[in-house]
Amino acid sequence: MLQFILRRIGISALVLLMGSALMFFATINAGDPLQDLRESRATNRDQLIAARIDNMNLDLPWWQRYLSWLAGAGKCLALQCDLGTSRDGANINALLLSSAGASLRLVSLSVALAIVIGILLGVLSAIRQYSGFDYAITFLAFLFFSLPVFWAAVLLKEFGAYRFNNWIADPALATTAMAVIAVVFAVVVAAVLGGGLRREAITFAVTAVVVFGAVLVFDRVDWWRQPALGLPIIIVGALAALAFFLVLTVGLSERRILYSGLGTVATGIVAYFVTAPVVRDPSGWWVVLALGLVALVVGAAIGWFFGGFQKKIAMFVCGGTALAFAFLVFMDQLLRNWGGFLQQVPRPIKTIGDAAIPYQKLDGNFYIIMYNWGVQLVLPTIVLTLISIAGYSRYTRSSMLETINQDYIRTARSKGLSDRVVYSKHALRNALIPITTIVAFDFANLLGGAVVTETVFGWKGLGDMFKTGLDFVDPGPVMAYYVVAGTAAVFMNMLADIAYAFLDPRIRR
């Protein structure tokens, strides 16, 4: 395996080297970097031209400029990068750090959401092939997959920012809007739960009534500006998470693990009151992460001591339930501070990135500062997530269908194993092997390819840096972009190869 990895690194380094030469040559021949100054009527035009020639080394042949850049980029191996200066004399290293940080904030969240939601939808579509749910997911996947990014971004700015900001100033829902929301939720829940026509009709009716009633209550108590979950909803959510993990592993009939999970929920209720002073205003992210880690450890410990002969499964179920409980507590506090944030920022959803304008200084606790940091991520994250979900769901469905038709799956069923065990323990793991390649390259492509999204939302990330470098015929920012995007592609491809070996031990040989 080590020899294979080293060989791949060598080949990838050669590909990066050849690609960098081609990128540099194409960029410097894309136009005249001095054209704007030659057309200028400024009295110091000659001095400005001389300064730009010096900054960009335009007095040297192209191959010397490339070798000079390559020597500086080669120092990155020793973590001492020297990517030169831009045409205005700005340090490329500092520009790259700022742009990469903005893009990572944007891409990491969208990729994580797309992976989880896309794979889940793909698995459910494959299990319920040719059902109403499958047809709906297929239609939406093709719709989002073919959606022009710029058009989706503009629509989100119109409805998710401008109109939402106008509505949240005095939120109120008409009865028709409540009915539409209830029907949409009822259709989704009935499709997900499935069953016969009678069961789907009952599920639809019950869900529609419950959702309509909940939305009506929310509207009457002005929940839209003063939201909260409350302990009862947190408990219900934790029990739903417990049921999900049980269905995913051993089913609801395994009493010891079920009781262990219920004990975890009871422990979470006690911890809700004990940790309330800290959770109301944590001093930083490290406190939130530490509390989450404590919840995971306590849940796993409960599973270990009370899980019986299936300790590992019990630790997984109880640990996952504890994390779900902790997440719901965090979301409860986050929602409770929404009203305080609205008082300082009446129009909360931003349409341009935080690098385009400075942060608005707000007075408030940890959650209000988090809102101020995160609202600018909402719209571009939704765009990138929807497009990625479409691809993940279709590839996962195809891979899952191919896997569940294999002989070893039929053998597992003939042994009397339940569908839950067949799908989760036998089919899903092998179906994820081709998905790892898509995940790896999707992250690299989004990191270096969100040019349109960053342009529409004014997000000063890698895409904007690349576009600016091309517009100004400045190879410095373009090559810095190439270093990050190319390295990300190579590194993620390497992770995909390692993931293959983990998912299928036969590949290690």
Structure confidence at residue 358 as a pLDDT band (50, 70, 90): very low
- Identify which of 267, 378, 364, 392 has the alpha carbon closest to the alpha carbon of residue 319: 267
Half-sphere exposure of 374 (CA within 13 A, CB side): 12
Mean pLDDT of the region 165-176? 91
Q: Which residues contact 481 (CB under 8 A, 6 or more apart)?
A: 99, 448, 462, 465, 466, 469
Distance of CA 200 to the CA centre of its chain: 32
What string of DSSP letters covers 148-160? -HHHHHHHHIIII
**Does the pLDDT value for residue 480 go beyond 50?**
yes
Task: Quote the mean pLDDT of the chain.
Answer: 85
Provide the pLDDT for residue 54. Answer: 86
CB–CB of 276/283 below 8 Å?
Answer: no
> Which pLDDT tens digit goes with each residue over 36-90?
888 888 888 888 888 888 888 888 888 899 999 999 888 887 778 888 888 888 8
Structure confidence at residue 431 as a pLDDT band (50, 70, 90): confident
> Which pLDDT tens digit goes with each residue over 260-296?
999 999 999 999 999 999 999 898 889 999 999 999 9
Distance of CA 220 to the CA centre of its chain: 34
User: What residue spans define the domains of the chain?
Assistant: 2-98+440-508
Provide the pLDDT for residue 357. Answer: 42
The structure's pTM equals: 0.80
Where would I find the H helices in 128-196? Answer: 132-145, 149-156, 164-168, 175-193
- Identify which of 314, 195, 185, 202 has the alpha carbon closest to the alpha carbon of residue 262: 314
**Does the pLDDT value for residue 161 go beyond 60?**
yes
Half-sphere exposure of 319 (CA within 13 A, CB side): 14
Residue 111: what residue type?
Answer: V
Give the SS3 label for residue 309: coil
**Does the pLDDT value for residue 4 go beyond 70?**
no
- Identify which of 85, 89, 88, 86 has the alpha carbon closest to the alpha carbon of residue 37: 88
